[in-house]
Amino acid sequence: MSVLITGAAGFIGYHLARRLLSEGHRVIGIDDHNAYYDPALKAAREAQLTPFPGYLSLRGGIQTPGLLTSIMARHRPRVVVHLAAQAGVRHSIEAPDAYLASNLGGTFQLLQAARAHPPAHLVMASSSSVYGGSPAMPYRETDRTDQPMSFYAATKKATEGMAHSYAALYGLPITMLRFFTVYGPWGRPDMAPFLFTQALMQDRPIPLFNRGRMQRDFTYVDDLIGAIRALMDVIPHHPAIPVAGDSLSPVAPWRVVNIGNGAPVPLMAFIDALQVATGRTARLQMLPMQPGDVAATWADTTLLDRLTGPREPTALAVGLARYVDLSLIHISEPTRPL
């Protein structure tokens, strides 16, 4: 099987590409290696992929007009997994233009390319951020998502709507994936697991927003990749018999699926587990809530389990132990400012 992955040198893109290559699939990976965080980390991830004979590395910004269309015309991937995006809730307050260009402009270019050269399945990353500040938890795919708390969340919600319109107009089978706080080896240095671990290893205070009164549905990256891989083979069809709790559109081959651990973890419990994994004692800096942030996330994974079978999520203590063990070298070193 031939798979195009956008954002292939990113955290999730790297892990997915490695999984598919290890299964013997052909992977076309595109990434622009932008400077949102140290590009050396993306280069190091990609260096793990290039030895595979089935990997083709392409460099470029997905928002470049016609680039993805030419790539899909040349390589005709059976499945496209769209992971490239400008990430980060807080950064979207400081640099919204980057989100407009990549998340909206880049996704538009992808949809146009898929319209011209339709894959059997287009799988696209969304985010748990689309649920906004809704107090009703766990979050279900059929919940309303019209109250975004950040511009990042707004762009992700917009990409879901854009994708639905192309599914309805052109019959493109599309699955949207709402990710919940993914962590693991080779993770992004702007995310809490990396920042907290680095602060512990360098004996610096850990900044805790909302004075630590936060909960997150932490999802280990291997669990996420397993779910994506399984969902690649679950192609939405229209028309289909409606099933209670399914987010399958009544008018298009389009579905949205949560991918999370299925259980929220208090931030202080996360720090306790991280202290055990590192053997270090944390110093805490209590701070007020950040604009655009939410106090808690919690995924209802009933639909995921129904579509892909029962799962055994990685326990937080186990996931953090693996994360720390495989990440100490680059976590211990100072990172460049974002």
Instruction: Please confirm, yes or no, whether 183 is among the known catalytic residues.
Output: no
* Cα separation, 192 vs 202, whole angstroms: 15
Candidates 292, 313, 299, 213; CA nearest to 262 is 299
Lookup: tokens for 40: 């050396």
Tell me which DSSP letter residue 189 carries. Answer: T
Q: Which one of the listed residues 152, 166, 183, 220 is annotated catalytic?
A: 152
Is the Cβ–Cβ distance between 194 and 331 less than 8 Å? yes
Which two three-digit tokens encode residue 87? 């990430």
Helix (H) and strand (E) counts for the chain?
12, 13
CA distances, 58 to each of 33, 68, 257 (Å) = 11, 11, 29
Q: Look up residue 301 and give its two tokens.
A: 């994974």
> From start to end of 48-186, where are the E strands?
55-59, 79-82, 121-127, 174-179, 182-183
Q: What residues are annotated to the active site? A: 152
